Structure 1
Amino acid sequence: MMPRTQWRKSSYSGGTANDCVEVALAHPAVRDSKDPDGPALVFTPDAWSAFLTELQSTTTPLL
């Protein structure tokens, strides 16, 4: 668990669903909302930036 971290869900999740991916931006990390005390994938700022750049540049549908 990451103390004092504010987690955000996508607006596409409907706001109350607990089967979403949550993102922490202060310390780039991703976790499963079904297990908020479980593990989180933590990224370096450079790795997170590269990940976002790749997502924004893809032409293949992600879903």
Structure 2
Amino acid sequence: MPGINEILVIVVLAAVVIFGAKKIPELAKTFGKAKSEFEKGKIEGEKELNDFKNKEKKLD
């Protein structure tokens, strides 16, 4: 049964074969930006939900 190191090596090699060595840093940068935008959206959504809950409490 392969360990985590072997699986990581296989995944990295597959990524290099599929995308090419030059494309991987660009993909990593894109994924990083996407994660950042997701986190910003999550925080903004939580803030809006809290604002809505607070507004609802004031009406009661």
TM-score interval, normalised by the smaller of the two chains: 0.3 to 0.5
Higher helix share: 2
Task: Decide which structure has greater strand share.
Answer: 1
TM-score calculated relative to the size of structure 1:
0.34
| Larger of the two Rg values belongs to structure | 2
